[in-house]
Amino acid sequence: MIEAVVFDLDGVIVDSEQVWDDVREALVRERGGRWHERAQADMMGMSSPEWSRYLHEELGLTEPPEEINAEVVRRMLERYRVELPLISGAVEAVKRLAAELALGIASSSNRPLIETVLESAGITELFAATVSSEEVARGKPAPDVYLEAVSRLEVEAGRCVAVEDSSSGIRSAHAAGMSVIAIPNLHYPPARETLELAAVVLQSADELTVEIVRQTPAALSAR
């Protein structure tokens, strides 16, 4: 049976993709870089070392990637302190699942951002393990961040369900051998062929229940 659920953060718990887009675009334009319309899609799922190199090498920021990364995180934290854009129903869904299942986070966000979101939402203690993709070799769609999350939870990947919203996240969790519940991002929807990798597709976090998790194909096959 399913023993754990691993949540993505951006787009699943916090509606932050547009915030990331605004912050990075503003930084690139302020400092004379070359922003283009593919940039946000290119960077979705990248780890912080990956997207900071992208801003440096592809979008023309002259600062070293480490400085770019620190400045973007500073601006993101500043935005979160003003307003944390939690997704409707997400905190309630986390609390429902935490009552019966072990929970983890597998996020492309930097650790300070993960901790700020969870603490501000009052749900830090509900997660037994949290992993940032900056702590593993490769960001999504590689499976590394999910594999590390299930390792820290001490649960087999086949006994875990991932909750994801994006193409890169769905592909990452699927590659890790997990069943995926997709709640598609309305602003940056996953590609149709990627969405077909999900075992279950929901319209909102309000639909995410223990019963839905237990009824995924992975849950059935593990019995």
* 199 pLDDT above the threshold of 60: yes
pLDDT in tens, 52-106: 999 999 999 999 999 999 999 999 999 999 999 999 999 999 999 999 999 999 9
pTM of the model: 0.92
pLDDT of residue 122: 98
pLDDT of residue 221: 46
Paired strand residues for 96 = none
Phi-psi category of 8—alpha, beta or left, where left has phi over 0 and alpha has psi -120 to 50? beta
Angle at the Cα of 132 (from 200 to 214), degrees rounded to 5? 25
* 186 pLDDT above the threshold of 90: no
* CATH (one of 3.30.2020, 1.20.1070, 1.25.10, 1.10.150) for 17-82: 1.10.150
- Which of the four pLDDT bands, split at 50, 70 and 90, describes residue 218? low
Which CATH architecture best describes the domain 4-15+85-222? 3-Layer(aba) Sandwich (3.40)
pLDDT in tens, 120-177: 999 999 999 999 999 999 999 999 999 999 999 999 999 999 999 999 999 999 999 9
pLDDT of residue 45: 84
Question: What is the rounded distance in angstroms from the CA atom of residue 30 to the CA atom of residue 38?
Answer: 18
C-alpha radius of gyration, the chain, whole number = 17
* 1 pLDDT above the threshold of 60: yes
Angle between helical axes of 48-57 and 17-30 (0-180°, round to 10): 30
pLDDT of residue 192: 94
User: 16-20, 100-104, 187-191 — which one is most confidently predicted on average?
Assistant: 100-104
Reading the block at residue 8, the tokens are 């993505």
Domain regions of the chain by residue span: 4-15+85-222, 17-82
Task: Please answer whether residues 153 and 160 qualify as being in contact, where contact means their C-beta atoms are separated by less than 8 angstroms.
Answer: yes
Task: Please answer whether residues 188 and 44 qualify as being in contact, where contact means their C-beta atoms are separated by less than 8 angstroms.
Answer: yes
pLDDT of residue 217: 76
Q: Is the dihedral of CA 135, 137, 139, 145 positive or negative?
A: negative
Tell me whether strands 4-7 and 102-107 are parallel, antiparallel or unpaired: parallel
